[in-house]
Amino acid sequence: MNKREFLSLLYDHLSVLPPEERDELMEDFEVHFTFAEQNGKSESEIVRELGDPAELAKEAIGERNVHPPDPVYWMNPEAAASVPVAPSDNLKSRKSRGGFASAMVYTGLFFLNLIPVPLLLSFWAVVVSLAVSSAVCLISPVLLGLEHLVHGNVKPIQWYSSIAFVGFGIFLMLLSRYLISIMAKVSVSYWKWNYQLAKGVKANEQ
């Protein structure tokens, strides 16, 4: 059984709970999977450690006035709304463990980002420098014309050089534009990856 199958079965078994409690429990298990995967465990290993989804659901439901048949499947929303809600100690302990797991995930992400984030900033600095250099090369004839107006001692070789700088500036402009597009995609993808890890959501589940 993989993660998706496990969570799907657990969601069905928890269907008698109020939606906010059920969603809270599902988020806790999502975080547990994320944290365990970061520590090198496979989905099947995590599923084996957690155990049977039906048993986990029975523990979460606890001692309530309604005893749905085993396994638990979807009930009518009106019937579920009539069930008295008395939070059990087991549910409270799971919520606290979920909060601890979330803190561990955020701590892990902090240390994980100590290297990639400075690298991304360094690459952005290089790309911005190329863009600025491109702009300087492109306006070199204007700068040379201003020097001619002020000093009047511009040589022909300087005009030829400024034309060459314009060509080089066009090349740098195209290169920097291409690199900016790549860096923007990489940065957005990296941010989304961090967000998905923090929330315990995979890209194909959004």
Q: What is the pLDDT of residue 99?
A: 62
Strands (E), 80-137: none
Q: What is the pLDDT of residue 98?
A: 54
pLDDT-derived band of residue 109, with 50, 70 and 90 as boundaries?
confident
> Collapsing DSSP states into helix, strand and coil, what is residue 163?
helix
| Whole-number pLDDT of residue 34 | 84
Please give the pLDDT value at position 3. 86
Using the predicted structure, report yes or no on whether residue 149 has a pLDDT greater than 60.
Answer: yes
Query: Tokens in use for 35?
Result: 């944290």
> Span 119-148, mean pLDDT?
87
Each domain of the chain, given as residue ranges in start order, spans 3-112, 116-205
Query: Between 98 and 168, whose confidence is greater?
Result: 168
* Cβ atoms of residues 94 and 60 within 8 Å: yes
Q: What is the pLDDT of residue 16?
A: 87
Question: For residue 19, what are its two tokens?
Answer: 């939606």
- The answer to whether residue 128 scores a pLDDT higher than 90 is yes
CB 196 within 8 A of CB 188: no
* Mean pLDDT, rounded, for 155-162: 78
Per-residue tokens: 193: 């990856």
Residue 202 scores a pLDDT above 50 = no
pLDDT > 90? residue 106: no
Residues 136, 111 contacting (CB under 8 angstroms): no
Check whether 73 has a pLDDT greater than 60.
no
C-alpha to C-alpha distance for 57 and 6, rounded to whole angstroms: 12
Q: What is the pLDDT of residues 13-68, one digit of tens each?
A: 888 888 888 888 888 888 888 888 888 888 888 888 888 888 888 888 874 444 44
pLDDT for the residue numbered 71: 46
Residue 27, both tokens: 């988020």
pLDDT attached to residue 63: 43
The predicted pLDDT at position 122 comes to 92
Phi-psi region of 134 (alpha: psi -120 to 50; beta: other; left: phi over 0): alpha
Average pLDDT in the chain: 76
